[in-house]
Amino acid sequence: MCRILLLSTLFISSIISAQVNRCYTDKYIEYRNSLNPSFKNDIDSTYNFMLSNLNDNPQRDFETIRIPVVVHVLYKTENQNLTDSLVRAQIDILNQDYARLNPDTNLTREIFKPVASATGIEFYLAQFDPTGLPTNGIIKKQTDVTSFFSLTNLDVMKSEANGGADAWPTDQYLNIWVCNLSIPILNVPVILGFATPPNSAPNWPAGSGASESQYDGVVIHYEVFGSIPNATGTFESVNKGRTLVHEVGHYLGLRHTWGDPGQGEDGCLVDDGINDTPISAAANQQTCDYAMNSCNEGVDDLPDMIENYMDYSNENCLNMFSKQQVEAMRFVVENFRSDLLLSTPIISTLSPKINVYPNPANDILTLKHGLSNLTGEITIFDFCGKIVQSMKINNNNSKIDLVVNELAPGSYFIQLNSQSGVYFNRFTKF
């Protein structure tokens, strides 16, 4: 009974204030902890383990990490049925921001430019579904559910039985659910987004209920998915598609820059654990207040880093991750979400085979096909799913010679994406 009371209080206070919750990740952790009292502890110990392994002087050369994404678009009305091009544009925004190729990096103040960094993490819409069939990584599902904001079940959108969509295996894909999180009568969103932070769930004892991996991923209110240049009112300060950028930051282990103190705690005494984000007391609420300096750090005191994606500033002035945040996210992928890389189902082994020879190959690999007027693309992947070579093709020849002499010795996948389907094979370079 206490548990139900606690939850009701939490949600009713959200509704009474009719306040839009920019990010519900902290409350989501409380919610899941109310169902399984060891949840928060595990999130915290995972986080602390990550912090204790961070380099104090980060920024080394790193390889690009590529994460497959599936977007579940849940819609009741046509305006919730987001187009494929909007979904792709949102993934492009995510990639721009994570690569620090966003057009507004010039707005990062000089004092913070030395610690601003690309992440080397790239996201792509899945090319194959869990059964190996080709997909565009976007699942549209019509539903009878008016709003997925539920008083009793924050994960309602993650289940087919409740009118939502079941996750694809969450160890192999970043699942993103896009749905309506409004209060039906008022038609204002209660929540713009939330994410499940990494935990060590696979190590929990069987039956503890904690390893509910089917809930792992990110949820975004449909009206802030993608950029909305002409937004007014509620969405004016969140119109650049950066709710997803922020929530994926949580999914990869980051906390808010102000460190989320509990009720009554002094915000300046609570930190996000990241050394190159200045200590701040609380969220910068929807503004671009460059004068904000909520905590005095003594010598070398810095203002609050309102440019950081993990703050709540107006999206017009969000434009950076810090170097140590990048270290943290990469540590999380490599240690707690590594199956996203190892199990990347980039190549469908169910696709028909294309003929390649000689195998093993040294300088030239010949690809033979029976397609007329072939147009498409040939891509070579290493066994970790990383693209090592690709070329567009448009010709009438039944044989195509590929120069492979620059590839390191090893095993590779080759994929032909053509007008009549996807074909694949393996070969060895010696």
- Contacts of residue 421, defined as CB under 8 A and 6 or more positions apart, other chains included, come to 134, 351, 352
23 contacts Zn ion (rule: CB under 5 A): yes
Smallest distance from the beta carbon of 54 to Zn ion, in angstroms? 20
248 contacts Zn ion (rule: CB under 5 A): no
Active site residue 247: yes
91 contacts Zn ion (rule: CB under 5 A): no
Tokens of 271: 């930190």
Smallest distance from the beta carbon of 30 to Zn ion, in angstroms? 13
Return the range that interacts with Zn ion (CB under 5 A); candidates 20-28, 164-172, 342-350, 361-369: 20-28
Give the footprint of Zn ion on residues 95-114 (CB under 5 A): none
Q: Are 75 and 143 in contact (CB under 8 A)?
A: yes
If the CB atoms of residues 193 and 278 are measured against Zn ion, the closer one turns out to be 193
If the CB atoms of residues 21 and 275 are measured against Zn ion, the closer one turns out to be 21
SS3 for 44?
helix
Q: Binders of Zn ion: how many residues, by CB under 5 A?
A: 2
252 contacts Zn ion (rule: CB under 5 A): no
Give the footprint of Zn ion on residues 125-164 (CB under 5 A): none
Return the range that interacts with Zn ion (CB under 5 A); candidates 24-32, 47-55, 234-242, 365-373: 24-32
Smallest distance from the beta carbon of 320 to Zn ion, in angstroms? 16
Residue 111: phi, psi to the nearest 5?
Answer: -65, -25
Smallest distance from the beta carbon of 272 to Zn ion, in angstroms? 11
SS3 for 179?
strand
CA distance to 15, 20, 400, per residue, from 183 (Å): 8, 10, 58
CB closest to Zn ion, residue no: 23
CA distance 196 to 177: 12
CA distance 283 to 264: 15
Q: Residue 290 carries which DSSP code?
A: T
29 contacts Zn ion (rule: CB under 5 A): no
CA distance 32 to 34: 5
254 contacts Zn ion (rule: CB under 5 A): no
CB atoms < 10 A from the CB of 228, how many? 16
25 contacts Zn ion (rule: CB under 5 A): yes
Residue 128: phi, psi to the nearest 5?
Answer: -135, 140
If the CB atoms of residues 176 and 361 are measured against Zn ion, the closer one turns out to be 176
Candidate list 110, 122, 247, 406, residue with the active-site label: 247
Give the footprint of Zn ion on residues 196-225 (CB under 5 A): none
CA distance 102 to 192: 22
Residue 316: phi, psi to the nearest 5?
Answer: -65, -20
Smallest distance from the beta carbon of 281 to Zn ion, in angstroms? 16
If the CB atoms of residues 283 and 367 are measured against Zn ion, the closer one turns out to be 283
Q: Which parts of this chain interact with Zn ion (CB under 5 A)?
A: 23, 25
Residues classed as catalytic: 247
